Structure 1
Amino acid sequence: MFVIKPMPDQIPDDLVTLLEQVETATVGHVLHSGFVDRHIRAVLPNKRVAGTAVTIRIPHADSALLHWLTAHVRPGDIVLVDRCGDDRHACWGGVITNCMKMAGVKAGVVDGPATDFSEFTRVDMPMWCRGPSAITTKLLGSEGAVNVPISVGGQVVHPGDAILCDESGVIVLDPLQARAVAEKAIGMQENELVLLERLRKGEKLPDISGARAMVDAKLAP
């Protein structure tokens, strides 16, 4: 059985631009939830992308619905794939990579393996997944769902969520809260530049952070 829901509204372009200034690790200083399992890793180095979540759930060895989705995705989408625990079959390979790139998709996030890694590099398609596999899915036409809530790396993803991906991981954000999170993180990154300049001028990190005072207080007789 196939379940197909409408494509979600896309997050505004200015929010995408704002998010792409944010390091996921900086958000890690602010939030404790929304982070996809760290074993879902970037295939390409030094990539940071943000966009709108388009969700798909395809269990076991059937990737017919992923093929179908390539005709419906839009520029600015990030496709997140719930593999229902299948860590054996690679659902996303070279042809899917090219189709998604041609459609303007900004990245893929697969809770499972992928294949044809050289194509990610050749067409510059950012991908986050659980590693490579030579065993691929087939066109079985059995079941799946598009634009329903899914689970990716232990994180619930709703269609239309704001997604931020970089070399440190993947974050899922409520689009109504994403702007505030991004602005706070950017402020923290700007403060870090000030901190680094103070260190270059000779100050010591524990004096700036207060760690020296904390430790010395515990060591005091």
Structure 2
Amino acid sequence: MITVTSLAQIPAGGEPAESPEALLVAAVLRRDRKATAEFVSCCSDWIYPVVRRGLMPRTDMVEDVMQEILLSAWRNLASFRREAGLRSWILGIARHKIEDYYRKRIRQAEVQEDDATAGDLAPSLQFDTPLDGTVDEDRVQRTLARLPEAYGLALTWRYRDGKSLRDMAELTGKTEKAIERLLARARESFKKRWNDEQS
């Protein structure tokens, strides 16, 4: 069985002709099932924490997005450039797939205007202020998880990932004004749920 770890052992006679990653990729391209299983295992170990953090609080979507990443990597393996490194390459795919997830979900969101958000939209929480302690972080995750999906994604993209209004608008195909309104409604909904939990 060809594995990254077994291939990493350099024979006493000198350097191997190719890197362990290159040999693994070549074996996968030859449709070697054991190499493919090793490829999936290695890549899964690398991307899981990135995908989980990237989709927080939507951890129910982690497995689906990971499958998309692995399928995309497998389909595009012939274009893998060895100098980039397999881990860097697969993490790049993961970052793009996470952004695709956000982009699609925010684009598809049917955000309904309701009269409750017509009033003052200034949140009582400072979203740009870092939270202290895991208790607050856990509470934020719980609150985000209770929001409509588009709201949670928009707030996460804006405040955790630091996306600008312009970036969010370009990535979703919406206007900056539409993104501003979405964020205002999302902040108001977050504030209401945050305060409800505190009561």
Which structure has more relative contact order (CA 8 Å, sep 6+)? It is 1
The two structures have a TM-score, normalised by structure 1, of 0.21
Q: Which has the larger radius of gyration?
A: 2
Q: Which has the higher helix share?
A: 2
The two structures have a TM-score, normalised by structure 2, of 0.23
